[in-house]
A and B are shown apart, each in its own frame.
Chain A
Amino acid sequence: DADVTQTPRNRITKTGKRIMLECSQTKGHDRMYWYRQDPGLGLRLIYYSFDVKDINKGEISDGYSVSRQAQAKFSLSLESAIPNQTALYFCATSVTGVGVGELFFGEGSRLTVL
Chain B
Amino acid sequence: QQQVKQSPQSLIVQKGGISIINCAYENTAFDYFPWYQQFPGKGPALLIAIRPDVSEKKEGRFTISFNKSAKQFSLHIMDSQPGDSATYFCAPKPNSNYQLIWGAGTKLIIKP
Contact = CB atoms under 8 A, between A and B. Distances in A.
Q: In terms of DSSP, what is the predominant structure of the interface of chain B?
A: loop
A70 interface: no
A107 B43 contact: yes
Contacts of B43: 4, 90, 92, 105-108
B107 to A, nearest CB: 10
Interface string B73-105: 000000000000000010101000011101111
A114 interface: no
A79 B103 CA distance: 29
A104 B34 CA distance: 13
A42 B46 contact: no
Given A43-B102, A45-B99, A100 B44 contact: no
B93 A100 contact: yes
A106 B89 CA distance: 16
Nearest to A103: B46
Contacts of B89: 42-43
Given A43-B102, A99-B93, A108-B43, 6 more contacts: A42-B105, A43-B89, A99-B32, A100-B32, A105-B42, A105-B45
Interface of A: 4, 40-45, 48, 58-59, 90, 92, 99-100, 102-108
